[in-house]
Amino acid sequence: MSKKSLLRNISYVFSSQMLILIIGMARSLILPLFFHVNAFGYYQVYVFYSSYIGLFALGFNDGIYLRYGEYNYEQLPHRKMRSSIWLYTVMLLLFTAVSALSITIGVTDPDVRYAMLFSALNIFVLGLNTVFIFVLQITNQMKKYSVYSVANKVLVMMAILFMVVINDNNYRTIITVDFIGGILVLAFISLQCKDLLYGRDVSLAEGWMEFKKNIRVGVKLLIANLLGMLLIGCGRMIIQFWGHIKDFAVYSFGISVTAMVLTVITAFSLVLYPTLKRVSSDMLPGYYSKVDTFTRLFNILTLLVYFPFYWVVSRYFSKYGDVLSYLNLLFVVAYLQTKISLLYNTFYNTLRKEKALLIENVSSVLLFIFLASILFFTFNTIWSIAFSTVAAMLFRCFVSELYLKKIKFLRSTIKPVMELVYLCLFILITSEFNIIAGVVIFSVFSFLYMLRERNGIKDVISLVKVQQPAVIE
């Protein structure tokens, strides 16, 4: 890929992610103010379970992502993919029907049932939508990818603003609009990728083989990614099942606030994977070092954002004030999640180390369950959930560093130790000092840390110097 093409792709995705960030900030700030705490909690139930419906894809999407990550759109085996996608569609419809029926029969709370029912309906809508989104991403059609990624969010944001104007604070309206928006996006993106749906097919047997191959290749990555999500999601499940809906709403509010900073990094990670798939393997360690530096520099800003957010929450979101006792830990979670998502997961996928990724995520989730089970049921505090999440994610980062050193991909450095010290200082300062003293002291430490990493800016700039991709036969 040429430097000009890469910059253009980054600009498309970055623009869309900035729009998503703005919309996400508006949603995260407007809805908690506009809704009652319990209503916001029910809306978050819908958001939470919708984020896990990728499980029902059984790895099909991830298989396409891994197998065709270095192809251009014209080079894709359209006939085989077309047949397999129709088989995948039938599977999604079956999963949707069974899940919707189970929720209708088994969930007694009408509000929870409504939220979970629409999450079940999203199995088909988002499951099929993700196929085309992945195809646009891996084939570097970033302009189209950006448009379809942001379209539904714009529609939902318009609905929220309209609800504010007419003073309609029914959370069910937002859920319904979000679902309808997903259907509209699916309709348009299906037309955009009609070559993958309509045309001459291969035999059913050959289509079935393609379908199975995508699942076989992608299932490890699916489970690994699912377990990675459970590092944060398990905490919310514990709170929902053994806590009050208000506790779930407050914790979800804190997660949504910190998740906004992750939107920025997504713009870079979406372009990074197809770029790395197009460079020679001997260049990957150099890219890793540069992306690692970029991640650390970005995360310094992430932690600095904590202080204005703390002030905003304490001043304007008093009904969510309980989150302040562990908001600093949630920002550390965002820091570590950025590192895991952008750095470790991207390079593991590029190196095709799905098995190692799976093992590390399983170990991390088991550690979280062990810690959370002891701390939460002993002290019955949400702080214990946040602390357990931080501990498990630190463990995941440590294990990933060790593995990359083991396979000779990464050299031993003092940087991970420096990062750990930096995070401990952040937790100590934000726990022991008031907001004014904290921002001053931590800003000084951050400046010194960035001064030490000043050469990293040149490394980040050099990331745009990539090779032209080889032609795939």
Tokens of 117: 């029912």
Q: What is the predicted pLDDT for the residue at 103?
A: 93
Low-confidence ranges of the chain (pLDDT < 50): 1, 464-473
For the stretch 404-418, pLDDT in tens is: 877 766 676 667 788
- Asked if 59 and 215 count as a contact pair (C-beta separation under 8 A), the reply is yes
In angstroms, how far is CA 418 from the centroid of its own chain?
Answer: 26
Cα separation, 189 vs 132, in Å, equals 7
- Asked if 88 and 81 count as a contact pair (C-beta separation under 8 A), the reply is no
Cα-based distances in Å from 363 to 213, 387, 453 = 27, 17, 32
Q: What is the predicted pLDDT for the residue at 234?
A: 84
Count CA atoms within 13 Å of residue 342 on its CB side: 29
- Asked if 260 and 385 count as a contact pair (C-beta separation under 8 A), the reply is no
For the stretch 210-261, pLDDT in tens is: 889 888 888 887 887 788 788 888 888 888 788 788 888 888 888 887 777 6
Angle CA 228–317–393, to nearest 5: 20
Q: Where are the domains of the chain?
A: 1-271, 279-463
